[in-house]
Structure 1
Amino acid sequence: MTTENKSIVQRALAGLIDTGDVDALAPFLSDDFVHHRPGTTTSTKVEWLAAVRAALVPLAGMQVELHQVLAEGDHVVVYSRRWLPDAGPEIAVVDIWRIDDGLIAEAWEIIEPVGRVAANLAWWQPAEH
């Protein structure tokens, strides 16, 4: 099951990363798919695919390196680094995907700008002004 779930996520991401084709991602998502962001922000399958589609123009040419793909049970975790062409900003991303009945049912996404990593190591300290 773990290997199969990992393969589902890898195939879904490959279609999007390699071609930029959001429609290639859609068949891997369940109809009741939910995407979560920190806080209370969630979106449905239709909303999330629309957001991904809208981001394709400003993020055209974005490079993605998958560094880790880990799976256990019905969850797959992907750690990647992404950056824009021409030395644009770089981000580190952790995606957690939950697979149900062969489809991606839920996703969680955490994004950290690499340029702010040092500041985030002491997130509990008051900001200096």
Structure 2
Amino acid sequence: MTEQQNKEVVLGFLRRAFGEKRPADAFAEYVGEDYVQHNPHAPARAGASAEYLAGFVARFPELSLDVRRVVAEGDLVCTHSLMRLTPGSRGSAIADVMRVRDGRIVEHWDVVQEIPEATASGNPMV
């Protein structure tokens, strides 16, 4: 697959899981059975990670994810996003890195940082 196709897989997953609030469907459509999870709070395998994400999304029905940047290199896709659990909150800056193989996400890492009221540099985080 091309890097652009890999980007489309990752963006499709994020749209389905967070935009449409259908994480189980996102996993079924976009995640491979040999999925490896590196998030320290989520279970290791696809089925368990899908359940974890479904619970997370259910706890925050007004959650929004605004993907600001997408970069791909080979089979790796990185997104830089703003996630808000509730409207009007500052939210968190999120970097997700996903490995795509044969049109399916097979590995995931993420880094999440709450957005402070002000930054020392004066520059935004997302």
Decide: shared fold, TM above 0.5.
Answer: yes
Query: For residues 46 and 30 of structure 1, what CA distance do their matches in structure 2 show?
Result: 10
| Within-5 A mapping of 1:1-129 | 1-26=2-27, 27-37=29-39, 43-115=44-116, 118=119
How high is the TM-score relative to the length of structure 2? Answer: 0.83
SS state at 1:57 partner: helix
Equivalenced residue count is: 118
Sequence identity (%): 21
SS state at 2:49 partner: helix
Greater Rg, structure 1 or structure 2?
Answer: 1
Structure 1 gap ranges (5+): 120-129
**1:97–1:108 CA contact under 8 A, matched in 2:** yes
Structure 2 gap ranges (5+): 121-126
Matched residue, 2:123: none
Query: For residues 17 and 58 of structure 1, what CA distance do their matches in structure 2 show?
Result: 12
**1:34–1:42 CA contact under 8 A, matched in 2:** no
**2:35–2:46 CA contact under 8 A, matched in 1:** yes
